[in-house]
Amino acid sequence: MYDNVDYVAALDAADELPSPFDDGTADDEGTTYGEFPFSFLAALLEELNPPADAYFMDLGSGRGQIALAASQLRPWGGCGGVELLPELHCIAVEAQRVVSSQMVDQNFKTTQPNSQSRVGDSSDASKHPSPTSNCDFSFKVGDMYSTSSIEALTDKDCPLVVFAYATCLEVNTKGELQKLTDALAYVPTGTTVITVNRPLASHPSGCSSGADSPSFVLVRAVKGPNPEINGHEQHSTAFVWRKEV
């Protein structure tokens, strides 16, 4: 999918955007790059089976491969991402353009009279949910912890699946994603959050553990292969959370 991306255009576009390092929004910590394996994502989504109108949001979306892969795997109300670094964000926007034009091409071919598919076809493809050709994409450049990024999520009037490949994100002394938990405190009840390799914190900071403090409940922890992880085990753990009141 990235072979046809115009990297020169992407980097030119990134030059027009302010760098988060200029105003102190970012330091190098947290921006270590890595990409979550496609096969593990596919297995996770198959297991979770989110509804077809759900919105998939990758926090720290890099060059967009996870949101774009998700859009190819199943139907969604929309897919998007928030990325701090303008260069990576602009590559994601270019890649999305490539994917969208390929889908238009493919749609055109499958609606031609000589297409092989038939109504009532019981092939494998009809048993699995197929991706929507008109998936609504939205890649934003910005800080995942900022109010505007999270407001963009709380505005959605549909089920939400939030993903974060969180190995290098900021953690508290217990190794929990406290800053991310705080930022997500007011996403709608029922939101699914997947954090890879790091758990969310049990409560937003400042909230004592009580019935009325918004929190996330761990639904499951899924172990899967990840060639990016050093060591002989080479696996990652995806923590799946559900937002409670």
Ligand X SMILES: C[S@@+](CC[C@H](N)C(=O)[O-])C[C@H]1O[C@@H](n2cnc3c(N)ncnc32)[C@H](O)[C@@H]1O
> Applying CB under 6 A, which residues contact ligand X?
30-31, 33-36, 58, 60-62, 65-66, 82-85, 88, 143-145, 165, 168
| Closest to ligand X by CB, 66 or 135 | 66
| Closest to ligand X by CB, 54 or 85 | 85
List, as one string, the DSSP characters of 15-52. HTSPPTTTTTS--STT-------HHHHHHHHHHH---T
Shortest approach of ligand X to residue 62 CB, angstroms? 3
Shortest approach of ligand X to residue 244 CB, angstroms? 25
Shortest approach of ligand X to residue 107 CB, angstroms? 26
Of 230, 83, 227, which is closest to residue 145 (Cα–Cα)?
83
In 100-133, which positions are buried (b, 16+ CB within 10 angstroms) versus exposed (e)? beebeeeeeeeeeeeeeeeeeeeeeeeeeeebbe
Shortest approach of ligand X to residue 109 CB, angstroms? 29
In 184-207, which positions are buried (b, 16+ CB within 10 angstroms) versus exposed (e)? bbbbeeebbbbbbbbbbbbbbeeb
| Closest to ligand X by CB, 30 or 133 | 30
Of 152, 26, 45, 163, which is closest to residue 86 (Cα–Cα)?
26
Amino acid 187 reads V
| β-pair type (192-196, 160-165) | parallel
Q: 197 near 166, Cβ under 8 Å? A: yes
Gap between the Cα atoms of 215 and 206, Å rounded:
12
| Closest to ligand X by CB, 58 or 94 | 58
| Closest residue by beta carbon to ligand X | 60
Q: 44 near 238, Cβ under 8 Å? A: yes
Helix, strand, coil fractions of the chain, as percent rounded to 5: 30, 20, 50
Shortest approach of ligand X to residue 128 CB, angstroms? 23
Shortest approach of ligand X to residue 42 CB, angstroms? 13
Shortest approach of ligand X to residue 84 CB, angstroms? 4
| Closest to ligand X by CB, 135 or 164 | 164
| Closest to ligand X by CB, 85 or 150 | 85
List the structure tokens of 169: 């994100």
| Closest to ligand X by CB, 54 or 144 | 144
